[in-house]
Amino acid sequence: MHPAPSVIVFSVLSGAGFGLLFFLGLGFVHPSGLVAFLWWGLGYGLAVIGLLASTFHLGNPKRAWRAFTQWQTSWLSREAWASVAALVLLAPMALSDWLDLGLPRPFGWLGAALALVTVFTTSMIYAQIKAVPRWHHWLTPVMFLSFALAGGAVLAGQSFAAVLLSALAAVLLAIWQVGDGQFARRAQTLGTATGLDRIGEVTVFEQAHTAGNYLLREMIFVVGRKHAQKLRAIALALAAVIPAALLVISGEVWTFALAAICHLIGALTARWLFFAQAEHVVGLFYGKR
């Protein structure tokens, strides 16, 4: 699949933002005054910038409001609702922390839960697609939630962030291992896709068109896959291993800041791979993957 920068930036930043809002909403930290404004502001900023970035890849962003209408069937529509609901429901808690209004903590719990629900709905946009076998697996939501929780814990300055980062490393290794075999497990080939395997072995004789088209650009993205293994090592190190090691060595504020930057760069790399390595079954018709 084509790794659209807007979608990568959106899902990584909003994931980390909603992760941070989750921990702030649950009251893992009790900031007040300016610190509270900046901390909650970081959470809201990441989440909102991410959501805005997601509209950049739309053909008609001016109609984006319509995405709220189809929550009964569409995970993308559910994501729109969950994200707005989380941001609205957490607002009283954020204001209370900032202005010392003394609102009881349970006011933030529902919003915190919805922050994670938002991340889950984002992940289901991809996990629901049967035509992309690598994504169509329960590990996809697990991976998105792991990123949100680990990134959120780092941004919230939590001492247990190192544990969540280690868990993230395990999830990444698992999803790569499982993902590599997903296409083969679907057992779809050019022969089964066209149904011509009932006659014999099928090969492409002539392509349907000599020039590129939307399908080839969007779904049959093959550039950069050859460096996948190196990029995986980089993603694993930057997103999980190095930040975890940093936090084990020191619990200072600057260590958390460094770990957060490191984690986000790693997360962007991993998310790029998530798209670039995903193969759509339509590639079979072209003899490509």
Partner 1 sequence: MTCLPVSTEKRLGLAIDLDTCVGCQACVTACKGWNDQGYGVPLSDQNPYGAEPSGVFLNRVHSYAVQPIEGEAQTINFPRSCLHCEDAPCVTVCPTGASYKRSEDGIVLVNEDACIGCGLCAWACPYGAREMDAEAGVMKKCTLCVDRIYNENLPEEDREPACVRGCPTGARHFGDFADPDSKVSRLSAERSGYALMPDLGTKPVNRYLPPRKKDVRQDASILAPLLDIKASGFAGWLDRVLGKI
Q: What does the binding site for partner 1 look like in residue numbers (CB under 8 A)?
A: 1, 57-61, 63-64, 66-70, 72-77, 80, 125, 128-132, 188, 190, 192-196, 198-209, 211-215, 218-219, 280-282, 285-286
Instruction: Please state the closest distance from residue 239 (CB atom) to partner 1, in A.
Output: 25
Q: Which is nearer to partner 1, 103 or 215 (CB)?
A: 215
Q: Which is nearer to partner 1, 232 or 288 (CB)?
A: 288
Annotate 225-261 with DSSP letters as a single string: GGGHHHHHHHHHIIIIIHHHHHHHH---HHHHHHHHH
What's the rounded Cα separation, in Å, for the pair 229 and 84? 37
Instruction: Please state the closest distance from residue 224 (CB atom) to partner 1, in A.
Output: 19
Q: Which is nearer to partner 1, 32 or 207 (CB)?
A: 207
Q: Which is nearer to partner 1, 54 or 96 (CB)?
A: 54
Q: Which is nearer to partner 1, 214 or 254 (CB)?
A: 214
H-helix or E-strand spanning residue 15: helix 5-26
Instruction: Please state the closest distance from residue 100 (CB atom) to partner 1, in A.
Output: 39
Instruction: Please state the closest distance from residue 68 (CB atom) to partner 1, in A.
Output: 8
Give the type of residue at 192.
T
Instruction: Please state the closest distance from residue 121 (CB atom) to partner 1, in A.
Output: 11
Q: At what angle do helices 253-276 and 228-236 cross, to 10 degrees?
A: 150
What's the rounded Cα separation, in Å, for the pair 17 and 50? 8
What's the rounded Cα separation, in Å, for the pair 81 and 162? 32
What's the rounded Cα separation, in Å, for the pair 85 and 51? 13
